[in-house]
Structure 1
Amino acid sequence: MSDDFLSLPDNVLWQRALKYYHEHNFFMVHEVLEVLWKRDTDRKGAFYQAFLQVAVSFYHYGNANFIGARQLARLAIARLNDMPHDFHGVDIKGFLTAYEATMLPLLSNAPGLKPLNGSEAPQITHL
């Protein structure tokens, strides 16, 4: 984790995480969201943890670590299912639907799995 992130306010960190996500830099998404998750132990912390798990699942999937990706995807889906349909300005329901569709080959142990291309990750949309 970069010490530079520790001094930044939550809203700046969230925007930075979104920037990294849209650049498909899932490792850095994890780094930023880890700071936010550790700061917030309430509902918002669970939100950050869910998206941290999403990012790590994509990171593993992209590196052909299908077991790790599958484990993180299941955790992320469970957490996202516990969130309201919109939270922190994010369309959770829409994202979850797209995320599950993206992860379906992995979660169903489809034959011939290939590493995920970052561009296949669903967009995070704001309401």
Structure 2
Amino acid sequence: MLSPALLQGVEEFNRQEFYACHDTLEALWMDSTEPQKSFYQGILQIAVGCYHLENQNWRGAVILLGEGTRRLNHYQPTYEGIDVEHLVNESLHLLKTLQQTEPEHLPQLLETLNASSSGGVHLPMVEDGILRRLPKIVRIDH
């Protein structure tokens, strides 16, 4: 069962409210001890990576997605009611896409992501070889 604060952070992440997610998870991270501390930090880093992407900060997005996925690797497949394997795989796919995208092409990538997410339909992350949405956190405790 997810704690209320972690549940709030997951919901913020999935609504793409990455700055709010950062604030929520940072409070959890600062008050926790290992092994939870690194777990929260990994999710937090992925959220901040997505926030950087939204602000067209290619370098910040790549660095934080890489650090976050690395940090979450040993929490797979699941941890604290979260499908960590799913989050890591989706985040790595986003990272790979960014690494293959020149920074000056971020506006086009973001346009594709924003157009795909505006319908409210749950799309696959990749369709026809094109990234269609940002990573999502899947809960396994409900």
TM-score by length of 1: 0.82
Structure 1 CA distance for aligned equivalents of residues 138 and 79 of structure 2: 11
Count of residues in Structure 1 that have an aligned counterpart in Structure 2: 117
Gaps of at least 5 residues in structure 1 are 1-9
Aligned-pair Cα RMSD in Å = 1.8
**CA shift for structure 1 position 56:** 0.2
Q: Is the Cα contact below 8 Å between 1:53 and 1:76 reproduced in 2? A: yes
Q: Whole-Å Cα distance in 1 between the matches of residues 100 and 134 of structure 2?
A: 18
Query: Structure 2: how far apart are the matches of 1:15 and 1:86?
Result: 15
Alignment correspondent of 1:31: 23
Larger mean Cα displacement after TM superposition, 108-117 or 23-32: 108-117
Structure 1 runs of 4+ off > 3 angstroms? 115-119
How far the C-alpha of 1:81 sits from its partner, in A, is: 1.1
Query: CA–CA distance in 2 between the matches of 1:93 and 1:19?
Result: 18
2:101 alignment partner in structure 1: 110
Identify which of 71, 74, 82 aligns with 1:79. 71
Instruction: Give the drift of 1:42.
Output: 0.7
Name the counterpart of 2:59. Answer: 67
Contact 1:105 1:113 in 2 (8 A): no
1:124 corresponds to which letter in structure 2? I
Residue 68 (structure 2) pairs with residue 55 (structure 1):
no
Q: Distance in 2 between matches of 1:90 and 1:37?
A: 16
Is 2:9 the counterpart of 1:17? Answer: yes
- Corresponding residue for residue 101 of structure 1: 93
Gaps of 5+ in 2: 118-132
Per the TM alignment, residue 109 of structure 1 is displaced from its structure 2 partner at its CA by 4.1
> Partner of 1:7 in structure 2?
none
**2:91, 2:135 within 8 Å by CA — same for their partners in 1?**
yes
**Percent identical across equivalent pairs?**
27
Residue type at the aligned position of 1:44: Q
